[in-house]
Amino acid sequence: MASPVTPPRGMRDFLPGDKARREHVLGRIRGVYRAHGFDEIETPVMEDASRLHAGLGGDNEKLAFAIMRRALTQDDLRSAETALELADLGLRFDLTVPLARFYASNRGQLPSVFRAIQIAPVWRAERPQKGRFRQFVQCDIDIIGEPGVLAEVELIAATASALEALGIPGCSIRLNDRRLLTSMLTVLGFTSASHADVLVTLDKLDKIGTSGVLAELRDRGHEAGAIEALAAVPAFASFGAEAASPDHDAPAAGVALTAGSIAALLPAGVDEQALADLAAIAAAVGHLAPLAFDPFLVRGMGYYTGAIFEVAHPDLGYSLGGGGRYDGMIGRFLGTEVPATGFSLGFERLIDLVELPADDGEGDAALVYDRDVDPAALMALKSTLIAEGARVRLVQRPKNLKAALDQLAADGFARFAAVTAATGQDASALDWRPLESSR
Amino acid sequence: MASPVTPPRGMRDFLPGDKARREHVLGRIRGVYRAHGFDEIETPVMEDASRLHAGLGGDNEKLAFAIMRRALTQDDLRSAETALELADLGLRFDLTVPLARFYASNRGQLPSVFRAIQIAPVWRAERPQKGRFRQFVQCDIDIIGEPGVLAEVELIAATASALEALGIPGCSIRLNDRRLLTSMLTVLGFTSASHADVLVTLDKLDKIGTSGVLAELRDRGHEAGAIEALAAVPAFASFGAEAASPDHDAPAAGVALTAGSIAALLPAGVDEQALADLAAIAAAVGHLAPLAFDPFLVRGMGYYTGAIFEVAHPDLGYSLGGGGRYDGMIGRFLGTEVPATGFSLGFERLIDLVELPADDGEGDAALVYDRDVDPAALMALKSTLIAEGARVRLVQRPKNLKAALDQLAADGFARFAAVTAATGQDASALDWRPLESSR
């Protein structure tokens, strides 16, 4: 056939080894989150198109795969103004919009503080590039209904435990609070209307440095006095020095996280509650994971309303996950405000960092049988071994036995036995040989 | 917001209890299939539209959800002859078409006899009805590259083990062979060109009975002599009698499955190799699961080429799964013939039949805390208990404590302790109370 047999662009097949590895890592994450009191839920992969395009998904909304209405006529095509009119559903681009819809639909059956696990694929029609896929798995935990910092504390503790269980050492958690960002901008003299725009520029600090940020703010026409005041903020003024130091990857690491130490990095007059909350979070989880206050951590999504955090790894140029408080959003589908916090682990980014113990395959057995063996006798042997607890694979004796045995060893089988027409059905009479090295 | 918060039509949210039950059952199925030497793989949820509509999916092709090309212009809409021209991808409607594409793409890295597990959702835009959903999970095992009956034997043995592990008693496996069906029709005098049409009618035997089948064959203009010959086939002639008997649900049960006993139910001259193969299958797995020869089992998909089978349950009016040999199909994407057999368990149909042991929640602990408890102290207690192996949930003391404790017990928590501002961080000082019954 003419069409290529590769998966669709930007998507992947997982062979047995990859699949086993992924499921093993997901199982560990799931186990940790469950131990921390979270419960797994599942929603359909698709949502109503109107919900996916309700403004809660930021730039990701444009990347949604659209599903065409069924039974469209040529007239429907002719009369449509835009392609989106022909779509009634779309594939989810994140797990947060579906969670908000799920909570609105099912809250009567959920506890008043609901701790959700969602481990599932999402789809984005991005230009594929190295390490970025059009179908990828997200691992989210969310706490809905808890207004206090205990929610942030539980999320960070669960995340730190998950990273520990995965054996990814050296991660730190960068913390900030949206209320600190916006109150700081107000104090510096940026108008409320300009905050969103200023934050977009500030979010580039890691990439373009302080001079780049100041230049871009000037280019975009922001108030000169406010820009000058930003340049004088202690944490901003010292950012370049830190960036040039070997400690670049852990910005502001080593700063003890108390309300006073945080305030000292910022202009006077920032949000007091946010300072107190960050200090309370640090006091509760500082011993579980290295924390770093990052006054210029912004995180892209516009829906954050309080504390925000990211997992930083010293060897990587990107974060392994992030989250924060988003009190306004869950209620959008309910008409009432519902406090919420969430954390999303970038599964595709961390899977390659995880070192798994080699599968010892203890007991896993291969039966290498001759072509003329009776299927009933062979099946009887296999059934007996499975009943004894073994994983059993049948392999017809090939010309190149050594290559087949090497393959079995690579697939985790520990032993093999030959089965001939004379062997019979007595599994205890099999002559086992080890498979660690081929012979 | 105006839009409803329910999932899209025909799709479902899974709450924590449902989700846990589903994953538990899938885990058991996966474990059995793995023990039988099968390896799990995964493919993307979508495939190229041209592949989904290549004629391998039968009627299901019409039910595929179509994914719109990105960046369509109004001109594209105006110039399209049909809606499908606007779609480049679609959601898979089964796991067999993706498996054929996967095998063609990756066969160089797979063993010469490849035993695949696929446990994954599929999507069909069917009219939703009781027990039928637009997103549902299929559990498939397939053996690619084995031409002999050993493949059928391994599939049936693995399926019987899975049903046993799920504690679904009383299932039997109905067997037939496409070669018996077509050779029988030839012997009876139906032309080759008419076979597909005759099989569609014969497939309704369970619903419309022998007189209904004969009438429909006449209505559809088939040869009178061939219809008369069909009526005289021993198994056909005796079908009505059986249907009226209490044994209706297990057609032809009790017939010993040898080449001779099967041939006795059919006209002389049917395919000898098929008779021998069914007898060999029966000899190898007859002791693992009750087998029943059903000479009028057709199974809908046109791609079957040899033995076909279905799982029948005495209490249900539908099968719990089925499969068969489909030697022509996998090779469609390769250009060479590759022998293949597969079996698909109807997960959504059997999930409700599974009785799970109650989760004893041994060690699972709830901390009922007062509003003024320090988050750091509470998190320290929680971390200590998790490190001891417990699953831990925090619950702020509500006005109605009894209702909260009942909920915790229902969620599988075994014990709770109160935490006040005076409790401190010493978990060993907690005063545990059991949660089996609320107090």
Averaged pLDDT of chain A: 90
Do you know the residue count of chain B? 439
Q: How far apart are CA A154 and CA A156, in angstroms?
A: 6
Cα A271 to chain center, whole Å?
Answer: 30
A287-to-A253, A308, B262, B406, B437 alpha-carbon distances in Å: 14, 19, 73, 34, 37
pLDDT of residue B68: 96
What are the residues facing B68 on neighbouring strands? Answer: B87
pLDDT of residue B252: 45
Note the ipTM here. 0.91
Residue type, A255: V
Number of Cβ within 10 Å of residue B267's Cβ equals: 19
Residue B175, H or E segment:
strand B172-177
Rg of the Cα trace of chain A? 28
Cβ contact B78–A78 (<8 Å): yes
pLDDT of residue B169: 83
> Are residues A350 and A328 in contact, defined by beta-carbon separation less than 8 angstroms?
no
Q: Specify the DSSP class assigned to residue B434.
A: E
Q: Testing the interface with B: which of A63, A150, A406 to mutate, by most B Cβ within 10 A?
A: A150
B303-360 per-position pLDDT tens digit: 899 999 999 988 887 899 999 999 988 888 888 889 999 999 999 989 988 887 766 6
pLDDT of residue A329: 87
Residue type, B73: T
Q: Report the residue from A3, A91, A285 with minimal CB separation from B51.
A: A3
Cβ contact B67–A72 (<8 Å): no
Q: How far apart are CA A340 and CA A326, in angstroms?
A: 5
> Are residues B303 and B328 in contact, defined by beta-carbon separation less than 8 angstroms?
yes
Q: How far apart are CA A377 and CA A294, in angstroms?
A: 68
Nearest Cα residue in chain A from B97: A5
Please tell me chain B's helix, strand, coil percentages from 3-state DSSP, rounded to the nearest 5: 40, 20, 40
Tell me whether B115 touches chain A (CB under 8 Å).
yes
Q: Which of residues 282-321 of B touch A (CB under 8 A)?
A: 283-285, 288
Cα B83 to chain center, whole Å?
Answer: 31
What are the residues facing B367 on neighbouring strands? Answer: B394, B417
Q: How many CA atoms lie within 13 A of B431 on its CB side?
A: 6
Q: How far apart are CA A369 and CA A404, in angstroms?
A: 12
What angle is formed at CA A256 by the lines to CA A252 and CA A260, rounded to 5 degrees?
A: 105
> Are residues B436 and B416 in contact, defined by beta-carbon separation less than 8 angstroms?
no
More confident residue, A398 or B252: A398
Sheet containing B114-123: give its strands across.
B39-40, B114-123, B135-144, B340-345, B321-325, B307-312, B172-177, B291-293
Number of Cβ within 10 Å of residue B187's Cβ equals: 17
Domains and CATH numbers, chain B: 1-147+327-357 (3.30.930.10), 170-303 (3.30.930.10), 365-434 (no CATH)
pTM, whole model, 2 decimals?
A: 0.92
Q: Report the residue from A23, A102, A153 with minimal CB separation from B375.
A: A153
pLDDT of residue B439: 37
B224-249 per-position pLDDT tens digit: 999 999 999 999 988 866 444 444 34
> Are residues A434 and A407 in contact, defined by beta-carbon separation less than 8 angstroms?
no
Sheet containing A135-144: give its strands across.
A39-40, A114-123, A135-144, A340-345, A321-325, A307-312, A172-177, A291-293
Residues of A in Cβ contact (< 8 Å) with B50: 3
A263-278 per-position pLDDT tens digit: 999 999 999 999 999 9
Residues of B in Cβ contact (< 8 Å) with A383: 157, 288
Cβ contact B5–A42 (<8 Å): no
Nearest Cα residue in chain A from B425: A284
Averaged pLDDT of chain B: 90
